[in-house]
Amino acid sequence: MVRADDVQIPSQDGRPIGAVLVHPNVTPRAQVIIHGATAVPQRFYREWAVHLAERGLAVLTYDYRGIGRSRTRPIRDEPVTMSGWIDDAQAVQRWFAARAPELPLVAVGHSFGGQIATTLLPEADAIITVGAQGGYVGRFDGPRRHWYAAVMRGLIPAVSAAFGHLPGWAGLGEDLPRGVARQWARWCSHPEYLFSELPHLRERMASWRGPLYALSFDDDEFASLRNVQWLLDRFEGATIEHDHLRIAELEARKVGHFGFFRRSAEAELWPRVDEFLARVGAAPIVSEPDRVLADLWYGTG
């Protein structure tokens, strides 16, 4: 039976980062850290974290400061920026790697999490990205380009100034601290995206060497293929395997930006990542009894 423990990890400013560590029922063969997407709380990744733990991996999920379990003050008083979220990711990855330095470390990055996964120290031994992309609005096609430009250059700055934060009802998920929302909007308005304000990350990303498995989907409205490819091109030293899947060729009717992490993707999509993990020596096969026990533990059966 897998077990989940709540943990708190100190951030750069000393405030706690709320995390959940999912333990397998065997000695783990590797550790997996999940870096989440913008405005997506860690609880969204719970079922997939359990799936990985069933396969003998220790899995850590967490929330960036200002959202989910790491929201420790009124949202209007939250000073963190998206650059600060990168600091959070680094603090958590450092803590997790130090916990069992003898184990391989695999970093999973969803969207924003995939944008920063290779820039973090200590470095991961392997990286998996899902819907990770450079967010520049100019690399979208047709009307979507103009809509996203209006959102990033007009709506987000105006709404976050009026409310002191970007409310979740604006369509992004969790409430976002104002500094996060406004910096993200600036990045998405620039062809060099996060490098426009953090140029030192370009070298870190280019110099990382290791296996990288990237998943993207042609019905993902938030990650155009051009933006996905732009990001992958920045990983100059990585050994990249990119699966860009067409929804017409899948049994699933929709995957989009979030569907991979839902239980509905277990049969068709999750084995793709399991296979990659097995190839990098990180995932044994789980028995059916272990899977059933895990489902009962989490109430997902």
Tokens standing for residue 98: 């130090």
Contact call for residues 292 and 301 (beta carbons, < 8 A) = yes
Mean pLDDT of 130-139: 97
Residue 73 identity = R
Q: What would the pLDDT profile of 165-216 be if each residue is shown by its tens digit? A: 999 988 778 999 999 999 999 999 999 999 999 999 999 999 999 999 999 9
What whole-number distance in Å separates Cα of residue 102 and Cα of residue 29?
10
Asked if the model's pLDDT at residue 157 lies above 80, the reply is yes
What b/e sequence results for 176-197 when a residue is b if at least 16 CB atoms lie within 10 Å of its CB, and e otherwise?
bbbbbbbbbbbbbbbeebbbee
Asked if the model's pLDDT at residue 297 lies above 70, the reply is no
Q: Give the domain ranges of the chain.
A: 3-137+200-298
- 282 pLDDT tier (thresholds 50, 70, 90): confident
CATH of domain 3-137+200-298: 3.40.50.1820
- 284 pLDDT tier (thresholds 50, 70, 90): low
Q: Number of helices and strands (H, E) in the chain?
A: 10, 10
Q: Across the chain, what does the average pLDDT equal?
A: 92
Total-model pTM: 0.92
- 294 pLDDT tier (thresholds 50, 70, 90): very low
Burial of 121 (C-beta count, 10 Å sphere; 0-12/13-18/19+): exposed
Contact call for residues 95 and 9 (beta carbons, < 8 A) = yes
How many other C-beta atoms lie within 10 A of the C-beta of residue 109?
27
Percent of the chain residues past pLDDT 70, beyond the cut: 93
